[in-house]
Structure 1
Amino acid sequence: MSVSSVEANTLFAELPAVRPSSFAQWRALTGRIVRTMATKGELVVACLTPLVVTVAFFLPLRYVMKVQGIDYAQYVMPIVVLQTMAMTMMSNAQLAAFEALTGLSTRLQTMPIGSLVPLMSRICAGMVRSVVSLIATVGYGYVIGFRFTGGWLQALAFCGFALTVGVVLTLGADALGSLTKNPEALSQALTLPILIFGMMSTGFVPEASFPSWVRPFARNQPISQFAQTLSDMAAGHLSWAGTWVSLVWLGALAVLFLPLAVWASVRRS
């Protein structure tokens, strides 16, 4: 051993061994994203977007549905909640694409950081945005007449299920963002599925309002099932018979999106 090596070992002998903490890394990266959202007004946008969605969905059809004996505020709020979760999904997709485009993702892979820490930090920051949006959405819903009539337990189940749907969709969007590295194109690509599945769902209008040939799709597609489950929770009618299809859809999407998001996040480009 050379003299310089001995001196170096003696110089740093009293310093504690470095033990990277994945929790501390996650906390730092998540805090960075949340601070950016707060300082750049993204959390304000997360509060205002549900207002736009609520007004756009509620006002055009409330009188038509009232004639049919439907309390449209109660009927439409589940799909409004799901649409606001979709907005969070798009924001996370753009964040993942931006980090991949600017080389931040590659840079983090060269550092002693847990391989899943960047992905988890983006998902958790997206959860913060989802919670803010959900609180705002429920508040706007109460203004137009929406109520939780099934008690606080089912109200909590409503919020928990909505956030779970948001997390699962965000996983898929994060994977797409990491793979495409194009925030602008990704935003345009995700807008069309959101509109199609939202407008062609029974959460927006009853199944009888659709042409007969499209009713099977409108009734059985995942957004319709999620909206129906949220509606049952809000009304206090939650049951296994009315929930298992939604859980199957949610589980299938999670099985598809979670491995894809992990692979897209840890792969070396």
Structure 2
Amino acid sequence: MSRGRISIVGAGPGDPELITVKALRRLEEADVVLYDRLVSDELLNYCRTGTLKIYCGKAPGRHALTQSEIERLIVDYATVGHHVVRLKGGDPFVFGRGGEEALAAARAGIPFEVIPGVTSAAGASASAGIPLTHRGTAASFAVVTGSRCGGENAPVRWDLLAQSVDTLAVYMGVAKLGEICGELIRHGRAASTPAALIENATTSAERVVTGTLGDIVQRAAAMRIGNPAMLLVGDTVGIREMLRPAEAVERRIV
């Protein structure tokens, strides 16, 4: 068979309606789909009958497949002529390891494309009513992983982020929430800085807890917030309270 191709596709932040039209077309065309844990099951219904669907989700401490196994599979299936879709939550190039999979395809000489998706920071921000930027309040934002906060191999310069960015969007930070808040405060961010955790953003299971860097850990524990959750830090968190009355009125009208 002729060599196939690989589509590395972002499924968006959780709500299946937030996937792009181009991404849906690739699902409809696919021979093989390898999909992640946070991808809505509803999206798999767009696959045609006979499409091979392989679950390769990763939860903290529990991986259905290793990253090297995933890369081997997408290359192997494409090599024998299949159109392979690697379906990932959020955006493939924002903490999605899409770059590693694109490199695997490139090394094997297989044609590939990357289809962007709504990344979780943007999805959580919009769904919770917390702008990432806002005129007069926040002119910059940064996305950062919280999964390796602290320790000898910490990849994040919290000392620089604490002072240089208006809004911080922290992915994968629930397990290290106390350490993240502590690092930001230790490096000069005020303990009174507004903070929010958005659990299961954009889905029907979404929950939001707000507070400050000084008390968000206790508030999150009281509500038993768990993964997946996005941490937003900055003054724009306060805008959520201004938007909530209008949101409540709209829902009553509907």
**TM-score, length-normalised on structure 1?**
0.26
Greater helix content: 1
Greater strand content: 2
**TM-score, length-normalised on structure 2?**
0.27
Structure with larger RCO (C-alpha < 8 A, sep 6+): 1
Larger Rg: 1
